[in-house]
Amino acid sequence: MPYIDEHRQSLQTLYPSRSQAWLDKKHKEEFVNWLRRRLLGIKLGNQLDALAKGPSSTYLKYQGYEINGFTFYTKKQDGKSTYQNCGVRFDAHDENGNVQATYYGFIEEIWELAYGPLKAALFRCQWVRLEEINTDSEGFTTVDLTKTAYRDDPFVLARDVMQVFYARDNKTKGRLKVVLEGKRKIVGVDGVTDEEDYRGYQEMPPFGANVPLPILQEGDEPAYVRLDHNEALIVDAPKDS
């Protein structure tokens, strides 16, 4: 966005001896008021005009939110459910659109800001330190959710994250595995009517690259069965007479 670049450049000119971290913080604190003054008297489109005026002084908070085909919960709401929906992944890109870093964390709060008729959903997250994100010998991404950082920058646009599930890794105390992405409901998102034809979201591989997957033959018993919820209809197949 050219106005963001313009404001950052003006700060660098005003404060040439300051660090990049200080300039980034100054930009976040002053950009909205600077943009309002910068666009004063200029005829704008409805969207930019609403953004320049800043958000409403009040905002809505949710325990759950649906966006991009995902259903997200806060961590507190996850504690009341048999499902896990608070895990998130965010890919940070450079100016050329290349992924610079991938962050993993969980949602603490869900905010919805109002810029006039425009709505913007934000997730307030705790993010794992990049140093605590690794890939194990089986190809799984492992993270330690107790080692968090970046408390000065907890927010992310809800539309920019992917959902992930965390499963406990019994081999390494206190660590967790990111096993696969969250379940999407694609039909109805961006006008999609056929999920098989939709390729708009980047997929995460569901298993590690080196994990052997057993193939069940007819009559084999499954090795793992989930027993912690019963939200299903079980019907006994009729026996052959």
Domain edge (last residue) among 54, 79, 96:
54
Q: What was the pLDDT predicted at 17?
A: 92
Ranges of residues in the chain whose predicted pLDDT is under 50: 186-189, 192-193, 195-202, 206-207, 209, 213-216, 223-226, 229, 231-235, 241
Are 11 and 63 contained in the same domain? no
Residues 49, 133, single domain; the answer is: no
Report CA dihedral (36, 37, 40, 44) to the nearest 10 degrees: -40
Same domain (yes/no): 59, 48: no
Same domain, 29 and 117: no
| Spatial contact of 131 and 168, defined as CB atoms under 8 Å apart | no
Asked if 177 and 170 touch (Cβ cutoff 8 Å), the reply is no
- Let me know if residue 208 belongs to a domain: no
Q: What is the pLDDT of residue 181?
A: 66
Per residue in 83-106, pLDDT tens? 889 999 999 988 778 888 999 999
Q: Is 134 helix (H, G, I), strand (E, B) or coil?
A: strand
Residues 6+ away with beta carbon under 8 Å from 82: 228, 229, 231
End-of-domain residue from the set 187, 207, 231? 187
Question: CA-CA distances (angstroms) from residue 55 to 8, 32, 48, 63, 161?
Answer: 21, 9, 12, 21, 22
Residue 191 has a pLDDT of 52
Domain that holds residue 7: 1-54
Closest CA to 161 of 208, 95, 81, 105: 105
3-state secondary structure (DSSP) of residue 193: coil
Judgement on whether residues 74 and 168 belong to the same structural domain of the protein: yes
Put residue 41 in one of left, alpha, beta given phi > 0 → left and psi -120 to 50 → alpha. Answer: left
In a domain? residue 238? no
Same domain, 1 and 111: no
Kindly state whether residue 148 falls inside one of the protein's structural domains: yes
Q: What is the pLDDT of residue 218?
A: 53
Q: How many CB atoms lie within 10 A of CB 238?
A: 6
Q: What pLDDT does residue 87 have?
A: 93
Residue 142 has which token pair? Answer: 């492992």
pLDDT in tens, 120-139: 899 999 999 999 998 887 78
Q: What is the pLDDT of residue 216?
A: 45
90 plus 176 within the same structural domain: yes
Q: Got the DSSP string for 5-50?
A: HHHHHHHHHH-TTS-HHHHHHHHHHHHHHHHHHHTTT----HHHHH
- What's the structural domain count of the chain? 2
Q: Does 131 share its domain with 47?
A: no
Q: Is residue 203 part of a domain?
A: no
The alpha helices in the chain, defined as continuous H runs, are: 2-14, 20-38, 46-52, 75-78
200, 226, 185: which is closest to 85 by C-alpha? 185
The reply to whether the predicted model has a pTM over 0.85 is: no
